[in-house]
Chains A and B, each alone.
Chain A
Amino acid sequence: MNEEIIIAGFGGQGVLSMGKILAYSGVMQDMEVSWMPSYGPEMRGGTANVTVILSDSRISSPILKMYDTAIILNQQSMDKFEKYLKPGGLLLYDGNGITRHPERKDINVFRVDAAEEASKMQSSKTFNMIVLGAYLKIRPIVSMENVMNGLKKSLPERHHHMLPLNKAAIERGLEIVQEVQVVG
């Protein structure tokens, strides 16, 4: 198993922390992982993205051109990364604010309206966990138990009271993800 993922959106959407939780979950499941953020002053409120790789064997390049999965959380990221999906790859996106939906016909497309759901849950901070849940529904590469262990590991202890809320958000994501297009 070797899963190469780009997660991209606005700074503040929890892009980097979602990647981190996914990477920690992989560690809990005894996988090799890498987490490589884009960084710099432009991340203050600008676009943010992170490359996460989970693999059964030693990971070579942590920086990639083509991805197995793209998790897209705003229009700029859709424009930038749709073309870098491998044929047959997975594009998961949040529909909020998206004006141009995915156009490629050779990829699998799923949608999760996580922003809307997060506002229903009255906690914008659950947004990225809803997206993570949606991703894990399509690609169950780590068990829920290890995701919760990863979450625990990556959250500072003072935020551990948020664990049940995050778990609920992940479970909500599992439920509400919608299939848009599936190829071969």
Chain B
Amino acid sequence: MVVLQAESEIASINMVYGGAGCGKKVMTSSSSPGVSLMQEGITYLAGAELPCVVVNVVRGGPGLGTIQPAQSDYFQAVKGGGHGDYKLIVLAPSSVQEMADFVELAFDLAFKYRNPAMILSDGMIGQMMEKVEMKPFTPRWTDEEITKMHPWATTGKPASRERNIITSVELDANAFERFNHKLQAKYKQIEENEVRSEMFECEDADYLLVAYGSSARICQKAVQILRAKGIKVGLLRPITLFPFPTKEIQALLGHVKGILSVELSAGQMVEDVRLAVEGKVKVEHFGRLGGVVHSPEEVVEAMESKIIGG
């Protein structure tokens, strides 16, 4: 493994661009303000269709903000962040085990679709320790394997092939529209094939919590507390935020009467939940802001006041 400390997040994401263009597995990691700095590079990576992994251990913003956990970078990760019509594949780990496992998964998906992938974590998952089982390390790809698997990589032009050019510039608008359509078709394919989510006590649920990452852990406890009170509540945890588990939420609408979307933000993912629900049942948001983490009891109270009694 080659490890290099960059002078800035701007430099690091562009080093990733350089390395990714060579067909190598390259990643970088930061926390919210640093990831804001990377947005330019991320849209270039998306535009050049380069696979890479970016980890954002989200902290409370805006601005320099706090160093405590938050989930307020959802829009930036899922809806864009940089300029142009592009999507990242966004994975949301909710345990330290997943934090480790998703690095490999993110690389697999990134290379499968030639698209940047993001692991959207937060200060809680980032700081905590848990039991982790590490998978055996896989050997580094050889030059021959890279040339074979990633014929687009800039490994030096032999006589046998055309030049490989990693670029996102196209001055002919019509050609660039065609390229944009190609990107959109790819995102649609990702939406069809790569949705991942986890259900917790959803089969008979009258009410549903939707939460990802650290909030999902907290909500799992809230489900236990509510079930102990005799209220049938389930939890749907999106593991991929793009693609979002829209159909999975829709499938529960036969018996679910109300949904509380819980995130450490002012309400970002709740928009995707509402888009999935299409007004069929009540959807509300709950979340603490700016680095304050909600307790399971607060989630219980919000569920009772906003959805069950609301």
Pick the residue among A27, A37, A60, A66 that contacts B127 (CB under 8 A): A37
Asked if A60 and B217 make an inter-chain contact with CB atoms under 8 angstroms apart, the answer reads yes
- Please report which residues of chain B, range 62-119, place their CB below 8 angstroms from some CB of chain A when the two chains form the complex: 67-68
CA distance A117 to B131 in the complex (A): 33
| Bound Cα distance A63, B214 (Å) | 9
Instruction: Describe B's contact surface by its main secondary structure.
Output: helix
A32-B130 Cα distance, complex, nearest whole Å: 8
Give complex CA distance A20, B131 in Å: 12
A180 to B130 alpha-carbon distance, docked (Å): 33
Identify the stretch in B167-175, B250-258, B291-299 within 8 Å (CB) of chain A at 4 or more residues. B291-299
- Chain A residues closer than 8 Å to B159, beta-carbon distance: none
The closest CB in chain B to the CB of A33 belongs to B131
Per the bound structure, the CA–CA distance linking A61 and B123 in Å amounts to 14
Minimum Cβ distance to chain A for residue B17 (Å): 32
Are A40 and B218 in contact (CB-based, < 8 A)?
A: no
Task: Pick the most buried of A23, A32, A62: most chain B CB atoms within 10 A of its CB.
Answer: A62
Contacts of A33 in B (CB 8 A): 129-131
Once A and B bind, how many residue pairs between them come within 8 Å at the CB atom? 59
Does A61 lie within 8 Å of B130, measured CB to CB? no
B129 is contacted by which of A23, A41, A63 (Cβ under 8 Å)? A23
Among A20, A36, A41, find the residue whose CB has the most chain B CB atoms closer than 10 A: A36
B67→A61 contact, CB < 8 A: no
Most interface-central of B129, B221, B222, B296 (chain A CB within 10 A): B129
Residues facing B in A92-107 (CB within 8 A) are none
Among B127, B131, B217, B218, the most chain A Cβ lie within 10 Å of the Cβ of: B131
Check B296–A34 contact: CB distance below 8 A.
no
Contact assessment for B221 and A60 in the assembled complex, using a CB-CB cutoff below 8 Å: yes
CA distance A25 to B218 in the complex (A): 24
Q: Count of B residues near A, CB < 8 Å?
A: 21
Which residues of A28-53 have CB atoms within 8 Å of chain B's CB atoms?
32-37, 39-41
Contact present for A65 and B128 (CB under 8 Å): no
The answer to whether A65 and B67 touch across the interface, beta carbons within 8 angstroms, is no
Contact A63 to B124, CB < 8 A, known contacts A39-B67, A40-B68: yes
* Chain B 282-310 residues near chain A, CB threshold 8 A: 293, 295-298
Distance, CA A34 to CA B297, complexed state (A):
19
A162 within 8 A of B: no
Instruction: Report B-chain residues with C-beta under 8 Å of the C-beta of A40.
Output: 67-68
Given contacts A62-B217, A63-B218, contact A32 B131 (CB under 8 A): yes
A64 within 8 A of B: yes
Cβ contact within 8 Å between B127 and A61: no
A65 CB contacts on chain B under 8 angstroms: 295-298
- Minimal Cβ-Cβ distance residue in A for B299: A61
CB pair A62 B128 closer than 8 Å: yes
- B217, B222, B224: which has the most chain A beta carbons within 10 Å? B217
Q: Given the complex of chains A and B, what is the CA–CA distance between A61 and B129 in angstroms? A: 13
A27 and B128 within 8 A (CB)? no
Assess whether B221 is in contact with A34, with CB atoms less than 8 Å apart: no
Cα of A28 to Cα of B68 in the assembled complex, Å: 30
Tell me the nearest residue of chain A to B129, going by C-beta: A35
Minimal beta-carbon separation of B105 from chain A (angstroms): 20
The distance in angstroms between the C-alpha atoms of A32 and B129, with both chains bound, is 11
Q: Verify B124–A36 contact, CB threshold 8 A.
A: yes
Is B220 positioned at the interface, with any CB of A under 8 Å from its CB?
Answer: yes
A66: B residues at CB distance < 8 A:
297
Contact string, B206-240, partner A, CB cutoff 8 A, digits 1/0?
A: 00000000100110111010000000000000000
For the complex, give the distance between the alpha carbons of A60 and B216 in Å: 8
Nearest Cβ in chain B — how far from A57, in angstroms?
11
Inter-chain CA distance A39–B127, complex, in Å, is 8
- Give the residues in chain A near B68, CB-CB below 8 Å: 40
Residues of A contacting B130 in the complex (Cβ-Cβ under 8 angstroms)? 32-35, 59, 62
Q: Which residues of A contact B129 (CB under 8 A)?
A: 20, 23, 33-36
Chain A residues in 8 Å Cβ range of B127: 36-37, 39
- A61–B218 contact, CB under 8 A? yes
Residues of B within 8 A of A64 (CB): 221, 295-296
**Interface, chain A (partner B; CB < 8 A):** 20, 23, 27, 32-37, 39-41, 59-66
In the A-B complex, the 3 residue pairs with the smallest Cβ-Cβ separation, listed nearest first, are: A60-B220, A65-B295, A61-B221
Beyond A33-B130, A33-B131, A65-B297, 5 additional contacts (C-beta under 8 Å) are A36-B127, A59-B217, A60-B224, A61-B217, A65-B298
Cβ contacts A to B, 7 pairs, < 8 Å: A23-B129, A39-B67, A60-B217, A60-B221, A60-B224, A60-B296, A61-B217
